[in-house]
Amino acid sequence: MSEAIRKSTAETYENKEVVLDVKDLRVYYETPKGDVLAVDGIHFKLYEGETLGLVGESGCGKSTAAMGILQLITPPGRIVTGEVWLDGSNLLAMSEEELRQRRWTKLALIPQGAMNSLNPTMRISQQIRDVIETHEGKKRGDDIKQRILELFKMVGLPGRIYDMYPHELSGGMKQRVCIAMAIALDPMVIIADESTSALDVVVQRVVAQTMLRVKEALGVSMIMIGHDMGLMAQMVDRIAVMYAGHIVEIAGVEELFYKPGHPYSQLLIESVPSLTERKPLKITEGITHDPRNPPPGCIFQLRCPFVMDECRRVKPPIVEIRPHQQVACHLFKQQEDGSIIDVRDIATNP
Ligand code: SF4
């Protein structure tokens, strides 16, 4: 594992302020056969200066959760319930105008596909200028040019792209333009939605490092969405693991990689290829449930190698199994003295 892995979460986040607090967020998509429960009651906190990774397989609800936080869900999707607290206000209780004022200034997005988010008919400088002037009003030409060139410098872009159009830039440069746009108004929180997944591995690493450098320089908090566990290990402080619209584990990077608690997290970690060790690809057996009709009890029961009778009946509560490591799984039981035991240990050491 890389040197870049952070200190334990306990050391890093003790006494930090919560900047974003997501409570019971549910986003459903309407279909002719019933609602798809894309995000089904997630809770998490993001701390000051923290980078939180949101990981899970395709379709697990990571991007939908991000769009829900940003209030960018469009029909047939809808936010069913939840609270998203940022800077003392619940975003889900705000008018469109109140939200507009907070986008870019408090909460910014680095989108999944830079090409689709940049306007192909506008010069790069004009697109960044629009973001700034929409919130701050018209600026003098020289002032705004200087500010945009500063932003380019921060994300490692040359000044010559100022008058260029998106099609004249490489994929990595376009993604950096999106980063420049996201930091233009000095937000509190940036959500990076699979921002490097469309790039080749070398450019991916460079862009990811740019994000991290800019984030450190500005002291902003970040949610980084992705499925590349190796990249996540080097980029984030804590990881929230999502499965079928639920967060099944939240832990510091070290805790998650060395002592994953939830069986799904264990399988995800085992699927990370090793450079030094040849090992067969780990396959998760079982089938996924119908997302319109999840089973009662644990959401992972149809694929879990440790499934028990209780898992089919009772939804597991999220419990802290170690400091700063929370897991939703019946394998972990709280004892009368408050300690946590893993029932597999009892089975092997009765
Ligand atoms: Fe597996 Fe049961 Fe834990 Fe769910 S609650 S992950 S089915 S052991």
Atom of ligand 1 minimally distant from the CA of 312: 7
Q: Is the pLDDT of residue 186 over 90?
A: yes
Residue 144 domain-assigned (yes or no): no
* pLDDT tens per residue across span 242-299: 999 999 999 999 999 999 999 999 998 888 777 677 777 666 677 788 899 999 999 9
Is the domain of 28 the same as that of 104?
yes
Domain residues for the domain of 306 are: 265-348
Residues 246 and 301: their CA atoms lie apart, in Å, by 13
Atom of ligand 1 minimally distant from the CA of 304: 1
* pLDDT tens per residue across span 124-172: 999 999 999 999 988 787 889 999 999 999 999 999 999 999 999 998 8
Residue 332 domain-assigned (yes or no): yes
Is the domain of 191 the same as that of 329?
no
Atom of ligand 1 minimally distant from the CA of 248: 6
Residue 236 domain-assigned (yes or no): yes
Which of 257, 282, 308 is where one domain is finished? 257
Is the domain of 37 the same as that of 54?
yes
Q: Which two tokens stand for residue 311?
A: 């898992």
**Max mean pLDDT range (109-113, 159-163, 337-341):** 159-163
* pLDDT tens per residue across span 43-73: 999 999 999 999 998 899 999 999 999 999 9
Which of 232, 257, 282 is where one domain is finished? 257
Question: Which comes out higher in pLDDT, residue 281 or 19?
Answer: 19
Residues 340 and 350: their CA atoms lie apart, in Å, by 16
Is the domain of 246 the same as that of 279?
no
Task: Say whether 81 sits in a helix, a strand or coil.
Answer: strand
> Ligand 1 mean position to 304 CA, how many Å?
6
Atom of ligand 1 minimally distant from the CA of 262: 6
Is the domain of 16 the same as that of 80?
yes
Q: What is the pLDDT of residue 39?
A: 97
Which residue is closest in CA terms to ligand 1's atom 6? 329
Is the domain of 251 the same as that of 287?
no
Residue 129 domain-assigned (yes or no): no
Confidence of residue 6 (pLDDT cuts 50, 70, 90): very low
Decide: 59 and 246 in contact? Cβ < 8 Å: no
Radius of gyration (Cα) for the chain, nearest Å?
Answer: 21
Which of 225, 257, 289 is where one domain is finished? 257
Rounded to the nearest 10 degrees, the angle between the axes of helix 124-136 and helix 171-183 is: 10
| Average pLDDT for 104-122 | 87
Is the domain of 16 the same as that of 41?
yes
Is the domain of 45 the same as that of 104?
yes
Question: Which of 194-208, 294-308, 309-323 shows the lowest per-residue confidence on average (mean pLDDT)?
Answer: 194-208
Q: Is the pLDDT of residue 185 over 90?
A: yes
Is the domain of 204 the same as that of 55?
yes
Q: What is the pLDDT of residue 224?
A: 94
> Ligand 1 mean position to 263 CA, how many Å?
7
> Ligand 1 mean position to 260 CA, how many Å?
14
Total domain count, the chain: 2
Task: Say whether 232 sits in a helix, a strand or coil.
Answer: helix
Q: Kindly state the percentage of the chain with pLDDT values over 70.
A: 92
Is the domain of 201 the same as that of 107?
yes
Cβ within 8 Å of residue 236, ≥6 positions away: 51, 52, 53, 224, 253
Ligand 1 binding pocket, CB closer than 6 Å: 262-263, 298, 300-301, 304, 306-308, 311, 316, 329-331
Pocket test for ligand 1, best of 265, 300, 314 (most atoms within 8 A of CB): 300
Q: How far is CA 16 from CA 23, 44, 46, 91, 106, in A?
A: 19, 15, 10, 22, 18
Q: How far is CA 317 from CA 246, 300, 321, 331, in A?
A: 12, 13, 12, 11
* pLDDT tens per residue across span 318-329: 999 998 899 999
Confidence of residue 80 (pLDDT cuts 50, 70, 90): very high
Task: Say whether 340 sits in a helix, a strand or coil.
Answer: strand
Specify the CATH number for the domain of residue 26. 3.40.50.300
Decide: 176 and 210 in contact? Cβ < 8 Å: yes
Angle ∠(89,249,313) on CA atoms, nearest 5: 105
Q: What is the pLDDT of residue 348?
A: 63
pTM: 0.90
Residue 155 domain-assigned (yes or no): no
- Mean per-residue pLDDT over the chain, rounded: 89
